[in-house]
Amino acid sequence: MTIFLSVFLLLYWSMHAYLFCKLRAAFALSRAGTISAVAFLLLMVFAPVFIRYAERAGMETVARATAWTGFLWMGWLLLFCASAFSMDIYRGIIFIAERLTGQGLASMSVSTAIAFLLSSGLALATAAYGFFEARNVRAEHLEVPTTKLPEGIDRVRIAQISDVHLGLIQREPLLRQVAEIVQKENPDMLVSTGDLVDGQICAYNNLSAILAGIRPRYGKFAITGNHEFYAGIKEAKCFIEDAGFTLLRGQRINLGNIMTIAGVDDPAVRQLKLGALVNEKDLLADVPAERFRLLLKHRPSIDKGAIGLFDLQLSGHVHKGQIFPFSILTWLYYPLQSGFADLGGGSSLYVSRGTGTWGPPIRVLSPPEVTIIDIVRRGK
């Protein structure tokens, strides 16, 4: 966690420094203006850290106000940096073209002030669009044929939620929308593939009650994501169980003769030295191959040794980058950011785009989803 926080603060500081350089290059700031800008940017740099301390100290009102301000600013800053960097590339191309051709291209050039204003305006417009996109949760449907369902069971419908990040920002409005979608789709079971919580919310009974009101016939199952450990596994476990989920931490459970569900902890449990990480290969090795085997794993990483030991892995974590163009960066680490993939050997993977948001309450080209997976019986 310390390494993650240090890297995050370094990158976040660098983005603020980039913004400050652009601001000074675009406008002649007075001494008072420079001091004011630096003071504001320093406040925003450390806002995410202050939010966590305020929340843990029980100052919820202050933490929530800071979270909305700090994370909306973070979303705008991310989009500004992407837009300004693109503008830098454009201006660089014009500069090189002028040197190579020996001709002025004034009609195509953009001044530093105009470039700053254009980047700021585009970032603001995109953030506004992304704010509303993040609140438009939709149902995504997937059908997975199998020969492994027993006679008399033609379909098992699973609703998957992932990366809801309930906490200071994501609260009742999102959760009620999710519950409405799930109830409408009438699944046989509900699964949460990690990062359900992202704060000290065990005492928020109104939130757990919304999920507790969903009672599919085969039950509800959850696994941990990295944020359950960051927020505090004790509080996270409290909330998850109050919401009516069976928490699978390196465990598996049989649904009669229908299927086996296995769930593993996020690697953060090992990184933070909070417990051992159960290997999914060991967890699934002795499950009969004729049973349908559902694996819940927060990160869409594949243990090649487990290929063929599960039929379907459900994951999340990536958010499909959450805010384009930063999905390009997440793609470098997780080539399958969302959707379905056949892994071979009888195993497949589905990666959810996520249901909520982390940090900025903004999504750009990554709409939130509740996934409805129909496991459908096919003849052998």
- Residue 108: its pLDDT value, please? 73
Query: Which helix (H) or strand (E) is 157 found in, with range?
Result: strand 155-161
| Alpha-carbon torsion angle 87, 90, 95, 98, nearest 10 | -140
Q: Comparing 42-56, 258-272, 358-372, which segment has the lowest mean pLDDT? A: 42-56
What's the rounded Cα separation, in Å, for the pair 192 and 52? 24
Strand 246-247, strand 251-255: pairing? unpaired
| Range 288-293, long-range pairs (CB < 8 A, 24+ positions) | 290/148, 291/148, 291/254, 291/257, 291/259, 291/260, 292/146, 292/148, 292/149, 292/156, 292/258, 292/259, 292/260, 292/375, 293/259, 293/260, 293/262
- Tokens representing 376 are 């459908």
What is the CA angle 235-240-243, rounded to 5? Answer: 125
- Residue 276: its pLDDT value, please? 85
Residue 3 pLDDT > 70, yes or no? no
Mean of the pLDDT values across residues 61-69?
92
Mean of the pLDDT values across residues 347-369?
96
Counting beta carbons within 10 angstroms of the beta carbon of residue 254, is it exposed (0 to 12), middle (13 to 18) or buried (19 or more)?
exposed
Please, are residues 353 and 373 in contact by the beta-carbon 8 Å criterion?
no
Q: Which among 53-62, 173-182, 233-242 has the top mean pLDDT?
A: 173-182
Question: Measuring CA to CA, which residue among 231, 169, 241, 160 is closest to residue 197?
Answer: 231
Question: Measuring CA to CA, which residue among 285, 295, 265, 286 is closest to residue 277?
Answer: 265
What's the rounded Cα separation, in Å, for the pair 260 and 50? 43
Please, are residues 27 and 113 in contact by the beta-carbon 8 Å criterion?
yes
What's the rounded Cα separation, in Å, for the pair 125 and 150? 52
Report the CATH superfamily, name and number, of domain 139-377: Metallo-dependent phosphatases (3.60.21.10)
Instruction: Enumerate the domain spans of the chain.
Output: 2-133, 139-377
Residue 307 pLDDT > 80, yes or no? yes
What's the rounded Cα separation, in Å, for the pair 48 and 43? 10
What's the rounded Cα separation, in Å, for the pair 84 and 16? 12
Q: What is the mean pLDDT of the chain?
A: 91
- Residue 35: its pLDDT value, please? 95
Tell me the pLDDT tens digit for each residue of 170-222.
Answer: 999 999 999 999 999 999 999 999 999 987 665 566 889 999 999 999 999 99
DSSP states of 251-286 as a string? EEEEETTTEEEEE---THHHHTTSSPPPPHHHHHTT
Tell me the pLDDT tens digit for each residue of 84-122.
Answer: 999 999 888 888 887 788 777 766 778 899 999 999 999
- Chain centroid to CA 141: how far? 19
Please, are residues 321 and 328 in contact by the beta-carbon 8 Å criterion?
yes
- Return the bridge partners of 4, or none: none
Mean of the pLDDT values across residues 128-152?
96
- Residue 103: its pLDDT value, please? 76
Mean of the pLDDT values across residues 65-91?
94
Q: Map 77-110 to HEC letters.
A: HHHHHHHHHHHHHHHHHHHHHHHHHCCCCHHHCC
Query: Which helix (H) or strand (E) is 185 found in, with range?
Result: helix 172-185
Strand 220-223, strand 312-315: pairing? unpaired
Q: Comparing 13-22, 92-101, 228-237, which segment has the lowest mean pLDDT? A: 92-101
pLDDT band for position 281 (cuts 50, 70, 90): very high
Residue 330 pLDDT > 90, yes or no? no
- Percentage of the chain lying above the pLDDT 70 cut: 96
- Residue 56: its pLDDT value, please? 81
What's the rounded Cα separation, in Å, for the pair 241 and 56? 21
Mean of the pLDDT values across residues 239-244?
93
Query: Which helix (H) or strand (E) is 342 found in, with range?
Result: strand 339-344
* C-beta neighbour count of 152 within 10 angstroms: 8
- Residue 203: its pLDDT value, please? 54
State the DSSP code for 364.
B
